[in-house]
Amino acid sequence: MKKISLLIFFILINCKNSEHIDRPYFENPKFIIQLNNTRLLVSEVLRDLDQPWEIAWGSDEHLWFTQRKGKIMRMDVNTGKVKTVLNLKDVYSKGRTIGLLGMTLHPDFNNSPHIYMHYTYIDSTSTSELDFIGNINYFRSKVMQYEYSFKEDTLINPKSVLTNISAYKAHNGSRLCISNDNKIFLALGDAAYSRNAQIKSSLPGKILRMNLDGSIPEDNPIANSYLYSMGHRNPQGLVVANGKIYSSEHGTDNDDEINLIKPMGNYGWPFVQGYCDKEIEMAFCDSLATTEPLYNWTPTIAPAGLDYYNHEAIPEWKNHLMLTTLKGCALWLFELNNEGEKIVNKKIYLQKKFGRLRDLCVSSKGDIYVVTSNSDWHIPRYKWMYDSIPKEGNDRILKISILQESEEEKFKNLSVFYEDKEPAKMFVQSSPESLLFKNNCVSCHMSKGEGIPNFVPPIQGTKTIANKKKLIETVLFGMSGEIEVKGKKYNDVMPGFSESLTNEELKILLNYIREYSNYTDTISIKEIDDIRKSRRY
């Protein structure tokens, strides 16, 4: 009897060791990633998506993802079946970082099948708010809650959570996540108006905290306020990990960031980019406590989706933040210290294999799903950014999973890749006009010409911009003394550029400034030269 039992035991062990993994028919293996002791298979599981933004794993063991034009999709990763469970009709998606964006599922989705989403829309009845140029701003965004019907396989019972958020054609963020105490966190961009980030009463440029029904938690940093942190430019990644909150954030053409989000933390934008290491930034940091990033990049890589890996399946990646990048076209991993407050190591994978990577999530089995972002934004002069985009199919979902020993023979012909030791070279290819504006104007008037409150006046939508002669004189010869702009007084010195810029450079710069304020009549070299000469005699 003992011999029979021992024989059965050895048969079971041998069966387990020789187990063959049957992967779903729709998975298309691409290559292998070799870690220290683990081999990962990178496969394509879905393609031909239209501007995807968010991807999330649900406790219903399904994959969920959004497309910017308004669709929410649900995928069975075992059968490959994909169903559109909601198609929002009031989404406005014509622009950058606009449309159906952040989405998150209730952590206990099987018992509380609620899904939360953030998207932009047009409110044609709104006439009281002006944008930074002075035009009526009709752009708004809102957070909605829907209930998933398992019986009907669709989303039902819409409820408003937070509405009438000021938005714009760009810089809306956004990501959503739910903390362990069932609080919603919403990361919002500055709505293309950097001053928003430092105005406590303005929602853009902040990370907000709210209850699941949209009410304000009693223990928020400021009573009766959604504000949790401020000073954000355009955060596009947000994750709760080990009781902490991390975000990834786009800089201008310098200082992309990863931040550890703290209650009432001020992350500096627009007065500080990255660390407090420039004279003008240090003055701001000395006057107001500013939270510096955990990590930053210059040149920028456009950090997007952020998640946390703490699964046993891939030991080498445990306790790592995972970040997808757009401009960088790569997957970055950041090892955290035991306290989760410092980054102690970084790794780079998938670099220039599938183009721009938008977001990622982790399944209950420890598989990682990544969605690409090649269909939403394209700048012809940035050829180096798009040289790795697959030629067939549109945006796609990738799966990174453990390669079992029993699969080695089947996939022995696939290429094997390792960690990239260095990021691909990032090129700064700004247009001549934007470079002139950056090099001569941005340090004082800021990136959108909005100025610095109580210090430097704005230039967009002002009388000086409207008056060509006055604009030329001011930029050529400078000015000093007290002036009034848009009802506020300023008293500082503006230098002239008659010695440092040629007439051709001035023409490019001034027309760039005026075009940004929607003026179509251009300034000529002759007009500049005539005014320049008038001061010589």
Task: Encode pLDDT of 3-13 as tens digits.
Answer: 455 444 444 44
Average pLDDT over residues 110-121: 97
* Cβ-based neighbour number of residue 2 at 10 Å: 6
> Does residue 229 sit in helix, strand or coil?
strand
DSSP 86-143: EE-SS----SSS-SEEEEEE-TTTTTS-EEEEEEEEE-TT--S-B-TTSSB--EEEEE
pLDDT number for residue 527: 92
318: left (phi > 0), else alpha (psi -120 to 50), else beta?
A: beta
The residue-averaged pLDDT of 64-70 equals 97
Min mean pLDDT across 211-225, 233-247, 496-510 is at 496-510
Residue with tokens 């001053």: 195
| CA distance linking residue 187 with residue 247, whole number of Å | 8
- Asked if residue 509 lies in contact with residue 435, where contact means CB atoms within 8 angstroms, the answer is no
Selection from 367-371, 459-463, 482-486 with the highest mean pLDDT: 367-371
pLDDT at 428: 58
CA dihedral 452, 456, 462, 466 (to 10 degrees): -130
| Predicted pLDDT of residue 146 | 98
Query: Looking at residue 430, what is its pLDDT?
Result: 58
Helix axes 503-516 and 432-440, enclosed angle (nearest 10)? 90
Q: How confident is the model at residue 177 (pLDDT cuts 50, 70, 90)?
A: very high
Confidence of residue 167 (pLDDT cuts 50, 70, 90): very high
Q: Is the pLDDT of residue 376 over 50?
A: yes
Q: Which domains does the chain have, with CATH numbers?
A: 33-417 (2.120.10.30), 432-534 (1.10.760.10)
The stretch 45-71 carries a mean pLDDT of 96
What's the pLDDT score for residue 133?
65
Specify the long-range contacts of residues 447-450, CB closer than 8 Å, at least 24 apart: 447/194, 447/252, 447/270, 448/132, 448/192, 448/193, 448/194, 449/132, 449/513, 449/516, 450/132, 450/193, 450/194, 450/195, 450/270
pLDDT for res 7: 47
The pLDDT of residue 503 is: 87
Tokens 């939360």 correspond to: 116
| 11 φ, ψ (degrees, to nearest 5) | -65, -45
Q: Residue 100 — very low, low, confident or very high, per pLDDT cuts 50/70/90?
A: very high
- At 16 the pLDDT is 41
User: pLDDT class for 14, splitting at 50, 70, 90?
Assistant: very low
Distance CA 241, CA 47 (A): 30
Q: Look at 511 and 62; give whichever has higher pLDDT.
A: 62
Q: What is the mean pLDDT of residues 60-84?
A: 97
Mean model confidence pLDDT for the chain: 89
Instruction: Provide the sign of the torsion angle of the four alpha carbons 196, 520, 251, 355, taken in this order.
Output: positive
Report yes or no: 278 and 255 within 8 Å, Cβ to Cβ.
Answer: no
Q: Express each pLDDT in 299-319 by its tens digit.
A: 899 999 999 999 999 999 999
515: confidence class by pLDDT, cuts 50, 70, 90: confident
The first and second tokens of residue 351, run together, are: 């670099």
Model confidence pLDDT, tens digit, residues 260-292: 999 999 999 999 999 998 877 888 898 888 999
pLDDT confidence of residue 69? 96
